[in-house]
Structure 1
Amino acid sequence: MSTSGLSVLELHEVSRWYGNVVAVNDVTMTIGPGITGLLGPNGAGKSTLLSMMAGLLPPSVGTVTINGQPVRGDVAAYRQIGLVPVQEDLYDYLTGQQFVRLNADLQRVPDPAAATARAIGLVEMAEAKDGRISTYSKGMRQRIKVASALVHDPAILLLDEPFNGMDPIRRRQMMDLLTHLAQQGRTIVFSSHILEEVEQIARQVEVVVAGRHAASGDFAQIRRMMTDRPNQYLVRSSDNRLLATLLLADTSVRGVRLRGDKALEVETDDLGQFGHMLPRAAREHGIRILELTPTDDSLESVFGYLVGA
């Protein structure tokens, strides 16, 4: 498979709303060749962004372009794009091969039979190609959707939560395939709410929270922003008052609050230092740590911090 040229996706001040509900709010980003992870919690607006990138959904305001040309309504642009939607609704009465061939025919691929076989081989579905989609597992459905998106050899591949339902072996194989495709010069965007998925293959990370563009950079930059944020913990010990005094004396601790006599609420600016200091202080003063629980470790709280939510 080969690409006819490098493609750059650009979103400029893009917003999308449904009535009074704002799904995407003033997003600007530039996505070039390689793998870009669109990272954010469920409901962040990732699917809406991908639909606008694919030209399926017009932005309420702003522009989405490929190499400077608007995507929406441009048949030539559509032929450059392969989309793997998150929805599992497929033509269940078709076989996997028929489903992929359908997209090859719609895209007017010169040799649709050969293109179909090649795409199915890439996702390792050759043995199951004659089975009806209704009999496929979730992971198999994901792979046949990827084959359908690849059958016309697109320069841009957009994937919405592509690893859902895949076992670890198939997930690794799909990641290897995407990495190989990116090395050929394709522009690949995949959405995920799982940090580890993005970390393994994404060259660039775009973080989206509540429809807003929260952060942009390589994974190391994004990880550092998340690690450096204030972290909150619930701590129970055999002597909460003494432990509170010890914690407040350490530079890594921003604040401590007693929750009755049963627990402490602790906020720290330096997770690494706090992780070393707490057990040492407890040991030196004969305090037993009964519970240490993060209270804000969800993706929503982590990403919310990045946008000041």
Structure 2
Amino acid sequence: MTNSETMNNSTGSSEAVIKVENVSRWFGNVVSVSDVSFEIKPGITGLLGPNGAGKTTLLRMITGLAAVSDGNITVFGESVRNNSSLYSRIGVMSEHETVYQFMKGRDFVKMMGELRGVHDLDNAVDKAIQLVDLADAAYRPMGTYSRGMRQRMRLAATLVHEPDILLLDEPLNGADPRQRVHFQNLLQSYADQGKTVVLSSHILEEVEQLADTVLLIVNGKLAASGDFHAIRAALNDRPYHVRVVSDSPRDLAAALVKLESIDAVNVEADGEIVVLSRNVRDLQIELPRLAKLADVRVRRVEPLDDSLESVFGYLVEG
């Protein structure tokens, strides 16, 4: 049984809003998406994968901006390609910034509302800008914004027509910690209204904090799906390499090698320690204690292979 089969998880009894059935997309001889199937229900779904995995291509096909090479995609039971009646129900925020630097924030949101045919436009614009907490900066040129502020004003432009579905591609790029918390609260509130949010990201923590269901994409294929508890459980047996820098590497290595959670400890030529562990939580707890007992000062601890590429590689091979 594959990881994908063991981790499938329903988000609830509600009907699927988006259905992707055996979808592939290729460009010449290059396959970007290969035979992918999944359903998305109301709530927050994370589309997780390393850069180049095919996430953006999937989003473009879901919005109707790109055609499928094979398979079928429906939104609210309808084919989305060349279906203008669906566009008013979908809000899309692309990864790359698409703003005019000279344009004031409010004018940008208003322009997007006009393109969407929003009624009572001024009130809708004010409401959207209030939602992203940028009323004080609404009349400033967007070229004076920080990157995080531009992202939030772009989100306001995505929300101005109150869509039923939000498709967000790497939306937290450039956001500081406070902005991230506000953004997360806003998306959660939106999902609590019964709306559907699809959040694409290459960062594990972003998706883990927000998503009810996660779709993991690697090399254009669905590697696994489910909630993060199931995915984390599947990774319990995966060994992790952790680098530890200290002022007395050999003393610390001698202490660490006695832990049952440690498979191996190597002291590198430069004096750094590389620890192989299948229980990083235990290592996090025991490392400070053992360092204190050995009178060793730890300067830095960092994972060497907790990247999405290595996680996905493990999932595909499993």
Match of 1:91 in 2: 100
Match of 1:79 among 88, 113, 120: 88
Q: Is the 8 A contact 2:250 2:267 kept in 1?
A: no
Q: Whole-Å Cα distance in 2 between the matches of residues 253 and 234 of structure 1? A: 13
Are 1:148 and 2:148 counterparts? no
The equivalent of 2:127 in structure 1 is: 118
Unaligned runs of 5+ in 2: 1-13
Q: State the partner residue of 1:210.
A: 219
2:235 match: secondary structure: helix
Is 2:36 the counterpart of 1:27? yes
1:296 and 2:308 aligned: no
Q: Pick from 8, 13, 23: which aligns with 1:14?
A: 23
Aligned equivalent of 2:3: none
Q: Which amino acid aligns with 2:132?
A: V
The yes-or-no answer on 1:307 pairing with 2:316 is yes
Query: C-alpha separation between the residues in 1 aligned to 2:141 and 2:292?
Result: 62
Alignment-mate amino acid for residue 172 of structure 1: V
The equivalent residue for 1:52 is 61
1:169 aligns with 2:178: yes
| Contact 1:104–1:112 (Cα < 8 Å) also in 2 | yes
CA distance in 2, matches of 1:267, 1:172: 34
Are the equivalent residues in 1 in contact too, given 2:16–2:39 (CA < 8 A)? no
Q: Secondary structure at the match of 2:99?
A: coil
Question: For the aligned residues, what is the CA RMSD?
Answer: 3.4
Q: How many residues align?
A: 301
Aligned residues with identical type, % of pairs: 45
Q: State the distance in 2 between where 1:11 and 1:59 align.
A: 10
Structure 1 residues 276 and 19: CA distance shift in structure 2, 3 A: same
- Residues 198-244 of structure 1 deviation map (CA, whole Å, 9 limit, x = unaligned): 12221111111222211111121122223332334578964999999
Q: Quick one: distance in 1 between partners of 2:252 and 2:134?
A: 58
Q: 1:54 to 1:277 in 2, by over 3 A?
A: same
Q: How far off its partner does 1:133 sit? A: 2.0
CA contact 1:253–1:269 (8 Å) conserved in 2: yes
- Mapped pair 1:40 → 2:23: no
Matched, 1:105 2:114: yes
Shift of 1:256: 8.4
Contact 2:216 2:222 survives alignment (8 Å): yes
SS for the counterpart of 1:166 is: coil
Q: Give the Cα separation in 1 of the matches to 2:224 and 2:108.
A: 37
- CA deviations 1:117-171 (Å, max 9, x no partner) are 1111111121211222222221111111111111111000011111111111111
CA–CA separation in structure 1 for the residues paired with 2:252 and 2:147: 48
**Retained in 2: the 8 A contact 1:12–1:63?**
yes
Q: How far apart, in 1, do the equivalents of 2:288 and 2:104 lie?
A: 58
Secondary structure in 2 matching 1:42: coil
Asked if the contact 1:119/1:148 (under 8 Å) is kept, the reply is: yes
For the residues of structure 1 that align with 2:123 and 2:253, how far apart are their CA atoms?
A: 73
Tell me the secondary structure at the aligned position of residue 159 of structure 1: strand
Pairwise CA distance, 1:85: 0.6
TM-score (norm 1): 0.82
Q: For 1:157-236, what aligned pairs fall within 5 Å after superposition?
A: 157-232=166-241
| Residue pair 1:138, 1:166 contacting (<8 A) in 2 also | yes
Tell me the equivalent position of 1:137: 146
Q: Is contact 2:236-2:278 (8 Å) kept? A: no
Is the Cα–Cα contact under 8 Å of residues 148 and 175 in structure 2 kept in the other structure? Answer: yes
What letter is aligned with 1:104?
A: G
TM-score (norm 2): 0.80
Q: Is the Cα–Cα contact under 8 Å of residues 17 and 23 in structure 1 kept in the other structure? A: yes
The 10-residue stretch of structure 1 (36-45 or 89-98) with the greater mean CA deviation from structure 2? 89-98
